[in-house]
Structure 1
Amino acid sequence: MRIALTGEALIDFTASEAGALAFLGHEGGSPLNTAVACARLGQHTGFFTQLSTDLFGERLMGFLERNGVDTGFILRSSAPSTLAFVERTPQTNRYAFYTHGSADATWAPEPLPQLPADCRFLHFGSISLLQEPAATRIADLVSANAGRCVIVFDPNVRPSLIPDLAAYRARVSNWFAMADLVKLSDEDAALLAPDRPVDALAAEILATGARAVIVTRGGEGATLWRAGKVPLSVAAPRVQVVDTIGAGDTFTAGLSVALLDQGVEHRDQLAALGDDGWRAVMRFAATAAALNCTREGADPPVLAAVQAALAQGDNR
């Protein structure tokens, strides 16, 4: 297992008709989407969570298995599955979550699972950090593997689940301090630091110890910040967008997969990677995310599709 992820797994019910109570179900959850994307992009990937034994949990387990994600560390529970309802708008997506007492929210393994010796990246973040006891045990798992794995944090801020944004921002600062690589969307950045420019937030995160901060801007691409170096930006490939769900998760997966391809296996190598290496990593991630947007729901591409799209771009 080269990449491990921990956090929620849920069913996304997306609105299939504007203004109507008609929804179509998809397997989802930011960490699950990222795990599936990593596996489809060719890396041995494992998922650390708890799934319900209800009909939704069975669907989630089968989906992970069909996509080649290692499910050997997943716990099972009779608690219900987390459900999310998504309404699309032209600019973004609106969410309603049903999480209280769910199987993934009550993930509390004792003792903590031991990551395989060959694991190099550990991802955490999203709404799993808003639910106890899972939030505490996820933080424990991350702390136990600090310095051994590259720790990747994606807050995936969902304001509808956050009753006190000021308190949440204080908690996020602690999670930033645990991470080696932080990936944010521009929407995340605006919610976390509404009165500061993005580069000031990136500098603050780097000051906590992170080696790299990347902010995505949807169709406008992404920008990388590293301590002592000028920001580095890449453009997003132009595609016909069908759905943006899962695009950020696919981007995050693409970062880890491409960094491993660059030989990055330790946090110090994030800072040592040169501009050309980082540009290749971010192009790969942006291309994977763009391809995800060409299909309905979170549907990350396979490695061959990303490679073909990159080659086509190089030949233009």
Structure 2
Amino acid sequence: MRIAIVGESLIDFTATGPLAFQGHEGGGPSNCAVAAARLGQATGYISQLSRDLFGERLYAYLGAKGVDLRFVLRSDAPSTLAFVERTPTSNHYAFYMQGTADTLWAPAQLPELPQSCRFLQFGSIALLQEPAASRIVDLVRAERGRRIVVFDPNARPTLVRDAQDYRARCQGWLALADLVKLSDEDAAYILPGLSADQAAAAVLALGPRAVVLTRGGQGATLYRAGQAPLAVQAPVVPVVDTIAAGDTFGAALMVALLEQGVESAGQLAPASAERSPEADASGAPPTLSDDAWRAVLRFAAMAAALNCTRAGASPPTRAELDMALARPE
């Protein structure tokens, strides 16, 4: 296991007409786990799934996609359900998650991740419900310094009861992370009134080494303290559905960083403007160069774009992504 992802798994019912819906396996963290596994990295999922018909479907789906389920607990509580209505620019959601299996994840003993695991991602709506929210934060705190902690807010304002309280709690979650991936919509909601550059600077001030801000069809920008922003454009593709595009981007980001040799938080950004990207005399691993970061961001942007070319959460296989990346720009 190289990547571990903790959080919800649910069934997305997407609108096909008036009161007509088609079900798809989904949930931000679950989508991310599937995407990382399909891109060739050993990926584990941490959550609790129901034994109802939806939970059985989710468990079978994740296993069939190659996700390691050793840390998945089972429960007689119902599955979380989400209903999704597409619009030309975004998706509107209605969630049914009170007392559901994933929101009740609260193991007495936290999972013991293998030493081979280098990335641990958390975030999304799992942080909105107790007792799962507190235990997820407990897990992140226990693993901090041992893994590269990634935070993806995946904010859903319609589920937030108290925006001011949510934003305050976000400050704490951001401070736990080494790498933050957030959309422009996340940034606008969590840090209202700030420009993209200002929002990224505010996040970096809390402690993360790097922030990647995604902007849908406009691409993504990397921010690091003391470094100029680094942007990549999104590939131009025929868009069928944007569901799970951000989840796929986040998964591909971790996969690409691993393939660049990133295994510790210190490699994400230079400790100071004077530090060389080469390993120093202490034997510290080299930090990632701008060219390497561009390759990482392009990899992630292409993966997200391919997901958008088909309905539902449908991240690309590694072969599909390699083929797309090999085409002339």
**Paired residue for 2:261?**
263
Pairing 1:1-316 to 2, within 5 Å after superposition: 1-17=1-17, 20-271=18-269, 272-312=287-327, 315-316=328-329
Distance in 1 (alpha carbons) for counterparts of 2:112 and 2:144 = 13
- Deviation of the 1:85 alpha carbon: 0.4
What is the SS of the residue equivalent to 2:99? coil
Distance in 2 (alpha carbons) for counterparts of 1:58 and 1:76 = 10
- Paired AA for residue 308 in structure 1: M
String of CA shifts for 1:86-121, please: whole Å, max 9, x gaps.
011112100000011000000001111100110000
TM-score (norm 1): 0.98
What is the SS of the residue equivalent to 2:299? helix
What is the SS of the residue equivalent to 2:268? helix
What is the SS of the residue equivalent to 1:296? coil
Distance in 2 (alpha carbons) for counterparts of 1:249 and 1:213 = 15
What is the SS of the residue equivalent to 2:323? helix
String of CA shifts for 1:217-274, please: whole Å, max 9, x gaps.
1011000100100000000000000000000000000000000000000000111211
Distance in 1 (alpha carbons) for counterparts of 2:117 and 2:89 = 37
Distance in 1 (alpha carbons) for counterparts of 2:90 and 2:243 = 9
- Deviation of the 1:136 alpha carbon: 0.4
5+ residue gaps in structure 1? none
Distance in 2 (alpha carbons) for counterparts of 1:295 and 1:175 = 32
- Deviation of the 1:142 alpha carbon: 0.4
Distance in 2 (alpha carbons) for counterparts of 1:233 and 1:130 = 31
Distance in 1 (alpha carbons) for counterparts of 2:60 and 2:316 = 19
- Paired AA for residue 241 in structure 1: V
Aligned-residue identity in percent: 65
What is the SS of the residue equivalent to 1:73? strand
Q: Which stretches of structure 1, 4 residues or longer, exceed 4 Å deviation after superposition? A: none
What is the SS of the residue equivalent to 2:103? coil
- Deviation of the 1:123 alpha carbon: 0.5
- Paired AA for residue 151 in structure 1: V
- Paired AA for residue 269 in structure 1: Q
String of CA shifts for 1:178-208, please: whole Å, max 9, x gaps.
0000011111111112211111111111111
What is the SS of the residue equivalent to 2:82? strand
TM-score (norm 2): 0.94
CA-atom RMSD in angstroms: 0.6
What is the SS of the residue equivalent to 1:76? strand
Distance in 2 (alpha carbons) for counterparts of 1:246 and 1:264 = 25
**Paired residue for 2:274?**
none
- Paired AA for residue 149 in structure 1: R
Distance in 2 (alpha carbons) for counterparts of 1:45 and 1:77 = 22
Distance in 1 (alpha carbons) for counterparts of 2:192 and 2:138 = 29
5+ residue gaps in structure 2? 270-286
